[in-house]
Structure 1
Amino acid sequence: MRVETKRLCLRPVMASDADDLFKIYGDPATNLFNPAGPYPDIHHAKTVLNRWLNHWENNGFGNWAISLRTTPENIIGFGGLSILSYADMSINNLGYRFAAKVWGKGLATEFSECAVRYGFIDIKLTEISAVVRGNHLASQKVLQKTGLKYIRDIDDVKDAPPSLLYSLTRDDWLRNST
């Protein structure tokens, strides 16, 4: 199931995406705000990809491989909606990571707006949340532009400062998107 925006093409991840996943998630630049750091090797990327494939199979939604519509064969990022457990709760998590070469072009906001719309309209989620590091101001801006609001701090990484939980309900999104 493919989804398109003005500039982006989103398709469900496939097993053959492992090299692209490692290229993006293994890049230290894309992990500046990630306490776990970059993926250590291709095996780790394949393990994560298998988890994402299982999520699609079990839930009917999950992470997409993201490309520009003009070059659909070149993956520039990954992102989507997934059910994750953070600290003391389970959330419908909005997550994304783009290759550093495409930063600063509004693609994360365009992607996030599409993912939120998809989550509320197509799969009928009642709430979408995101977890972001307190010092990751660019991602906080993306979430705010997408309509998510800061809810509270969460202690999700041992021996690290708390992350920030952002959230948006379907009712609030409907109220503000008309």
Structure 2
Amino acid sequence: MQLNSTRLFLRPVAPTDVQRLFAIYGDPETNTFNPAGPFPDLAFAQEVLNRWLAHWQSFPFGNWAICLREQSDQVLGFGGLSVREFAGKPVNNLGYRLAKEVWGKGYATEFARTVIAYGFDECQLPVIDAAVRQDHLASQQVLEKAGLRCYGQVYDIPGAPASLVYELRAQTWRDQGTPK
């Protein structure tokens, strides 16, 4: 499912994305707040990409390549909705990672709002969650601008401090209208 926003073009990930996936997720700077650290090699990136591709086979949502509408062949990052477990409970998890050269331009917020609208309007998801490191203030701001609110913590990475858990319920999103 391809999606468009004001500035972004989102397309489901493709097998040809492995090099760009490794370039972004293998960059130590994009992993500053990730206790697991950067992807170690291209083979690991391929394993992750294979899981993302398989997710699309089971659900009407997954991970997208985030591109500019005017330059749809240039991948700025990756993100999406995926079914994950937080504290033994399945959730519809919102996640994203952008290349460092496009940070601070509002793309993450625009991406999050677009994917949330798709999740609620097209997929009829009842709630969307996101986990974020406690010291990752920029990502917390993205989630809050997109309408999510912090409701607790989860120990999602063994040996690491708890992550903050954010959520947005479909009914709340509809009642408040799309955040601007």
Same fold (TM over 0.5): yes
The one-character-per-residue Cα deviations of 1:32-82 (angstroms, maximum 9, x if unpaired) are: 000000000000000000000000011121000011111110101000111
Unaligned runs of 5+ in 2: none
Structure 1 window deviating more from structure 2 (90-99 vs 152-161): it is 152-161
Counterpart in the other structure of 1:107: 107
Q: Shift in Å at residue 90 of structure 1? A: 1.1
Q: Report the residue type matching 1:54 in the other structure.
A: A
Q: Report the residue type matching 2:125 in the other structure.
A: L
Q: Which stretches of structure 1, 4 residues or longer, exceed 4 Å deviation after superposition?
A: none
Q: Report the residue type matching 1:131 in the other structure.
A: A
**1:63 correspondence with 2:71:** no
Counterpart in the other structure of 1:162: 162
Counterparts of 2:147 and 2:22, CA distance in 1: 30
Counterpart in the other structure of 1:97: 97
Unaligned runs of 5+ in 1: none
The one-character-per-residue Cα deviations of 1:109-137 (angstroms, maximum 9, x if unpaired) are: 00000010000001110000000000000
Counterpart in the other structure of 2:14: 14
**1:82 correspondence with 2:98:** no
Q: Report the residue type matching 2:77 in the other structure.
A: G
- Aligned residue for 2:91, secondary structure, equals strand
**1:117 correspondence with 2:111:** no
Q: Report the residue type matching 2:12 in the other structure.
A: P
- Superposition CA RMSD, Å: 0.8
Structure 1 window deviating more from structure 2 (92-101 vs 82-91): it is 82-91
**Number of residue pairs matched?**
178
Q: Report the residue type matching 2:108 in the other structure.
A: A
- Aligned residue for 1:96, secondary structure, equals strand
- Aligned residue for 1:49, secondary structure, equals helix
- Aligned residue for 1:159, secondary structure, equals coil
Q: What's the % identity of the aligned pairs? A: 52
Q: Shift in Å at residue 86 of structure 1? A: 2.3
Counterparts of 2:30 and 2:112, CA distance in 1: 17
- Aligned residue for 1:44, secondary structure, equals helix
Counterpart in the other structure of 1:54: 54
Structure 1 window deviating more from structure 2 (114-123 vs 86-95): it is 86-95
